[in-house]
């Protein structure tokens, strides 16, 4: 076996391992989200529905969710299925190495804000960041192994998570894959479901159907 074929085989193996890890991560994340939403059935904001603070937090949550949906769609315009095939360094990927995860954390904060609680909004954002941190570290090892020095230079120049807007660089041309774009936008609509879900929960809590065990700000 030649060095080239061994490298290709090793790259295919590492890519398969990465995909298996990402698949397990999605299952674990889905379970975690389910448990959190189950717990929120019995938690309520100190600011009752109709109060200014509660309505203000819901408005903030809606804005954050919109930012998340548009941001994730923007990322897909650049990544277009190329994440494991080449290093993308333009657009949102010029200010943070993981903009999809950044916008997902923003969306998670928006979902939390829909409860009317500042604490829940912050907790959702932090928990999402921690969950993605483990994934990012695995992906970084894969990318470093397969791209070597170019990726190491990219790591040195661009932050892992928290964006640096002054690094922004635009791409002159984009090759868009509509299927991936539509799927990302559709996936983002999951965040929108938070609004009717928490409205229903609030109604059931006010009716006494769901007992409120914990009040948080």
Residue 214 host element (H or E): strand 214-216
pLDDT tens, N- to C-terminus, the chain (217 residues):
444 444 444 454 456 666 666 666 666 666 766 766 776 777 766 666 667 777 888 889 889 998 998 898 888 888 765 555 678 888 899 999 999 889 989 988 888 888 878 888 888 888 888 888 878 888 888 888 888 888 899 999 999 989 999 999 887 776 667 777 777 777 777 777 777 777 787 777 777 777 776 666 7
Helix intervals (H) in the chain: 3-40, 52-79, 99-113, 118-147, 149-157, 178-192, 194-206
C-alpha distances in angstroms, 82 versus 10, 111, 175, 180, 210?
A: 19, 29, 10, 11, 46
Q: What is the reported pTM?
A: 0.78
d(CA 210, CA 192): 23
Residue 136 has which token pair? 């990012």
């Amino acid at each position: 076996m030649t060095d080239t074929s061994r490298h290709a085989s090793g790259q295919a193996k590492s890519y398969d391992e990465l995909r298996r890890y990402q698949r397990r991560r999605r299952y674990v994340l889905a379970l975690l989200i389910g448990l959190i939403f189950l717990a929120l059935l019995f938690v309520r904001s100190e600011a009752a529905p109709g109060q200014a603070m509660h309505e203000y937090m819901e408005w903030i949550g809606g804005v954050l969710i919109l930012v998340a949906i548009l941001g994730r769609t923007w990322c897909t315009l650049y990544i277009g299925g190329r994440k494991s095939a080449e290093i993308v360094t333009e657009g949102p990927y010029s200010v943070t190495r993981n903009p999809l995860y950044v916008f997902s954390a923003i969306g998670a904060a928006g979902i939390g804000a829909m409860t009317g609680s500042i604490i829940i909004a912050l907790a959702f954002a932090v928990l999402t960041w921690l969950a993605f941190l483990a994934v990012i570290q695995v992906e970084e090892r894969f990318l470093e192994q397969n791209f070597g020095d170019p990726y190491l230079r990219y790591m040195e120049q661009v932050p892992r998570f928290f964006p640096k807007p002054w690094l922004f660089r635009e791409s002159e041309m984009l090759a868009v894959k509509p299927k991936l774009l539509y799927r990302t936008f559709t996936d983002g609509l999951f965040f929108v479901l938070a609004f009717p879900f928490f409205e229903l929960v609030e109604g059931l809590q006010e009716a006494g159907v769901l007992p409120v065990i914990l009040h948080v700000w």
